[in-house]
Structure 1
Amino acid sequence: MSDNNEYQGRIVVITGASSGFGRGTALELAKRGASVVLAARSPEALTELAQECETAGGRAMAVPTDVSDRNAVAALTDKAVARFGRIDVWINGAGVAAVGRFDQVPLEDHEQVIRTDLLGVTYGSHHAMSHFRARGKGTLINIASALGKIPTPLYASYVASKFGVVGLGDALRQELGEEKITDIRVCTVMPMAHETEFFEHAGNYTGKKAVPIPPTYDPKTTIDELVRLVVEPEDEVITGWQGGPFSFLHRLMPKAIEKLMAGNTNAVQMGESMPAPKTSGIIHQPSKA
């Protein structure tokens, strides 16, 4: 990990800050002296987190934001600049999922997954890139998923969104490369399954408790990488040590790996998991926890 002095005074916007990777990253950056702009749908969770961040040593501002609302993301940008004068790093971390056979998941859930996971990242990226181009520098970090490289059944709209996020990062880097711009960086982070609230919060129409696709990793694995990328940007990072080899094998023999992935996901989710009622999870509203 880089020297803490490199984080002092950095202004970092984090969407999806109320839980999971976003929350952990905000706290770690605050400990290193960064200023964090915290965005998520729950005002109560954000207020509590902002207090924790300031106690940890950073400056923090809570901005309740639904990233699927383009006007809300514009307002988030304006409030961040009004408070801190600039944005150095923007982390798009908000995400939801609907688990279940594609045609059995309500269409409104698929729509909201795509609005949050793909359009929300698009809105945040657009405002961040516009700001960075005006300043001449900045780092955009988009959290996709290993499922943005290797598809799996029962997560169709989530997979579609994450493939889109991976492609968005590729296209933005191509634009910067053609213009020979080196002081603006676009990073795409692709986590494997982690032990976060993600599966508990997911919409679930399988009839079984939503469970991660093994192997699973400690959230700190991805949080540490996100914190590092703030000062040491890279184009693409897969978090979870098996992700890299798995992605390499997928490039060599995609059909075999996709068949393995499909069988594994179906067996774990539909065969081993405990019964559970159907739910839209937090797709349409924030968690009450």
Structure 2
Amino acid sequence: MEPTRTVVITGASSGFGRGTALRLAANGFNLVLAARRGQALEALAEACGDAIAVVTEVGNPDDVEKLAKAAIAKFNRIDVWINNAGVAALGRFDDIPLRDHQRVLQTNLGGVVNGSHVALRHFRQLQSGTLINIASMLGRTPSPYYASYCASKYGVLGLSDALRQELRAHGEEGIHICTILPMAADTPFYEHAANYTGHTLHPFPIIDAEAVIDAIVAAVDAPRDEITVGLPATAAVLSERLAPGLVHRVTGVVSHQLQMETAEPAAHAPGSLHAPVAIGTGVHGDIRAQLEAEAQRSRR
């Protein structure tokens, strides 16, 4: 009988992280849950059973080292590490404070570098393990008003590709690097994002969070180099390969119209960039409901 596997999940207090934790707990995994919100983490760990909560700022290398040590102290090993934590600052590039752009990069890319570093050191000792990095379709096809977010996700894809090359060069076939590329999904991500657009946020298209969680859970058992989630993502990847210039022009025009011309006015909001917020602790968010309400108002 194989020992129970241990999975570390960052950004576990809501969205994809929370949904993945609940799903893996139901399948009997040991879980190490990381995020900035201690109370939400503790409640999730209790709901998951054999799990521990470790308050972690993924952009801080010391915190990530402590996370790995806590996992090994409790469960003796780490089999899967999921870099899921992410933040965003949305708006015209120069309207967003530079410290906010830097924070996005520190968390989304720096956090993945930190997590990948400690995970791979451990996996190389075992000569086995799976590293799952949550990227985004915006790491393949950019969008206006998401500049630093796109930069961070392009970086995640480049990091993952380079790590695969290293592992292949050394014949380390027992270690897998998987990147997940979701489209915009109905999670609390948009409630947590810093918004400098002057409007309510209008991502498009929106997919169901459960589809992304399905892909992450599947990658735990059957990792693949790169997994796109949903037909829109698959179509975007194909279009990007065939006609990148056209795709960038079209998505730029459509995204601008939806975000800056169609969306309702809204005040600037700092989101959860620099400090965690109490709202948005579920798997699903309220973005679909917001968009439907705005659509109804526009038809009146």
d(CA) in 2 for partners of 1:273, 1:20: 24
1:53 aligned residue:
48
1:133 counterpart letter in structure 2 = R
d(CA) in 2 for partners of 1:122, 1:88: 18
2:249 aligned residue:
259
Residue number among 4, 9, 28 corresponding to 1:9 in the alignment: 4
Deviating 4+ runs (over 3 angstroms): none
1:201 aligned residue:
192
Aligned residues of 1:40 and 1:94 also touching (Cα < 8 A):
yes
| Offset of residue 209 of structure 1 | 1.0
Residue number among 19, 33, 38 corresponding to 1:38 in the alignment: 33
Residue correspondence of structure 1 range 1-289 to structure 2 within 5 A: 9-54=4-49, 59-212=50-203, 214-289=204-279
d(CA) in 1 for partners of 2:255, 2:162: 30
1:196 counterpart letter in structure 2 = T
Q: What secondary structure, in the 3-state scheme, does the structure 2 residue paired with 1:193 have?
A: coil
d(CA) in 2 for partners of 1:64, 1:185: 26
Aligned residues of 1:202 and 1:210 also touching (Cα < 8 A):
no
Q: Deviations over 1:54-76 (max 9, x none)?
A: 1xxxx100000000111000100
d(CA) in 2 for partners of 1:53, 1:274: 39
Q: What secondary structure, in the 3-state scheme, does the structure 1 residue paired with 2:231 have?
A: coil
d(CA) in 2 for partners of 1:126, 1:195: 30
Q: What secondary structure, in the 3-state scheme, does the structure 1 residue paired with 2:160 have?
A: helix
| Offset of residue 200 of structure 1 | 1.5
2:178 counterpart letter in structure 1 = C
d(CA) in 2 for partners of 1:202, 1:265: 17
d(CA) in 1 for partners of 2:20, 2:53: 15
- The alignment covers a number of residue pairs equal to 279
Structure 1: any 5+ residue segments left out of the alignment?
none
d(CA) in 1 for partners of 2:252, 2:26: 40
d(CA) in 1 for partners of 2:40, 2:230: 27
2:10 counterpart letter in structure 1 = T
d(CA) in 2 for partners of 1:238, 1:258: 19
TM norm structure 2 = 0.91
Q: What secondary structure, in the 3-state scheme, does the structure 2 residue paired with 1:216 have?
A: coil
d(CA) in 2 for partners of 1:112, 1:67: 11
| Offset of residue 211 of structure 1 | 2.5
Aligned residues of 1:139 and 1:184 also touching (Cα < 8 A):
yes
Aligned residues of 1:15 and 1:22 also touching (Cα < 8 A):
yes
Structure 2: any 5+ residue segments left out of the alignment?
280-300
Q: Deviations over 1:6-39 (max 9, x none)?
A: 9x71100000000100000000000000011000
Q: What secondary structure, in the 3-state scheme, does the structure 2 residue paired with 1:242 have?
A: helix
Identity of aligned residues (%): 50
1:24 counterpart letter in structure 2 = G
CA RMSD of aligned residues (A): 1.1
Q: Deviations over 1:246-284 (max 9, x none)?
A: 111111110100111111211111122121111220011
1:166 counterpart letter in structure 2 = L
d(CA) in 1 for partners of 2:147, 2:35: 24
Q: Deviations over 1:125-152 (max 9, x none)?
A: 0000000001110000000100001111
